[in-house]
Amino acid sequence: MRLIVTDGADAAGHAAAELLAERITRAPKFRLGVATGSSPESTYRHLAALLPPRPHAIELFALDEYIGLPRGHAQSYEETLKQGIASLLNLDLGSVHVPDAWHSDPTAAGLRYDALLANHGGIDLQILGIGANGHIGFNEPFSEFGSRTRRVALTEETRRANSRFFATVDQVPTYAMTQGISNILAASAVLLIATGQHKPDALVAAIEGPIAWACPASALQLHRDVTVVCDSAAASSLTQTIPTPPARRQGANNVRLR
Ligand code: F6R
């Protein structure tokens, strides 16, 4: 695991974008797993500036999608991918893939998304944020590490946290489709971005705590290629790990014990 700690959220976005740009430009085509939410917003902006201004051979795969929002709703993750990320990166809308949260049979929709991921050859790099409760995607605490794309219930904590994107908390959906933890672990590489004062506890549990269902992000300790980029606010409670010095950022296993 590599840990990069920056001064401020925007610098974290820039560091994450540099890492992404380096990997994307050396691959002829790139299957990018994308998180939505606030944490990776500046990463996508910086990435757009770092990539050459031509359509890239990038396919975007959403981690999750709310159930219950009408198609085209501004807060649906499909719209965020289309109007936000794909448009920033100058990508064809055909390159955007989202779990079908409008399907009448969520089990079938989950299986179909898993098959789509497999048919595309899997994800080259999965971008993740982390919930204050340690969730990744919408895999809330006690999600099984073997879980795959499926319908899940959102916790009240998650609904309250996401209510900032809606007029009231009652408008935040109660259910979502999410890739499972085993989908996330199947990505060739993972880039976790954590910024701000609501994330220290979750980050400590994820990278210094025991691997435990209570913190879904702790499953990332089982992955062979994880980079965590965070700002100093999110890193403020880390005690066991120290950040990777800039010169060693490209190497593996750069997190050292204090
Ligand atoms: C979003 C997602 C979530 C968020 C997490 C953090 O697609 O899967 O896991 O990454 O809730 O959200 P922010 O970044 O808004 O704090």
Helix H or strand E encompassing 5: strand 2-6
Please tell me the distance from the alpha carbon of residue 135 to that of residue 156, in angstroms, as a whole number: 13
CB half-sphere exposure, 187, CA atoms < 13 A: 29
What pLDDT band is residue 258 in, cutting at 50, 70 and 90? very low
> Is 133 considered catalytic here?
yes
Residue 242's pLDDT band (cuts 50, 70, 90): confident
Question: Ligand 1 centroid to 24 CA: how many Å?
Answer: 22
Using CB distances shorter than 6 Å, the residues near ligand 1 are 35-39, 63-64, 129-131, 135-138
Helices 9-25 and 41-50: angle between axes, nearest 10 degrees: 50
CA of 217 to the centre of ligand 1 (A): 12
Q: How far is the C-alpha of 159 from the C-alpha of 175, rounded, in Å?
A: 10
Among the listed residues 258, 183, 191, the one whose alpha carbon sits nearest the alpha carbon of residue 1: 191
Condensed to tens digits (0 to 9), the pLDDT of residues 20-58 reads 999 999 999 999 999 999 999 999 999 999 998 776 799
Q: Edge to edge, what strands does the sheet with 150-153 contain? A: 64-67, 175-178, 150-153
CA of 14 to the centre of ligand 1 (A): 18
Q: Is 119 a catalytic residue?
A: no
Q: Identify the band that residue 251 occupies on the pLDDT scale cut at 50, 70 and 90.
A: very low
Please give the mean pLDDT across all residues of the chain. Answer: 94
Is residue 138 within 8 Å of residue 35, measured between CB atoms? no
pLDDT digits (tens, 9 = 90+) for 170-228: 999 999 999 999 999 999 999 999 999 999 999 999 999 999 999 999 999 999 999 99
Residue of 46, 56, 59, 64 marked catalytic:
64
The number of residues in the chain equals: 258
Q: Catalytic residue at 64?
A: yes
Residue of 140, 162, 183, 254 with catalytic role: 140
pLDDT score of 83 = 96
- 3-state SS class at 208: coil
Q: Is position 140 annotated as part of the catalytic site? A: yes
C-alpha neighbours within 13 Å on the C-beta side of residue 213: 6
Tens of pLDDT, residue by residue over 141-175, are 999 999 999 999 999 999 999 999 999 999 999 99
Q: Of 41, 114, 135, 162, which is the active-site residue?
A: 135
Q: Which pLDDT does position 253 carry in this prediction?
A: 45
Q: Which two tokens stand for residue 69?
A: 């929002």
Instruction: Give the closest residue to 234 by CA, choosing from 131, 135, 154.
Output: 131
Which amino acid belongs to residue 179? Q
Please tell me the pTM assigned to this model. Answer: 0.95
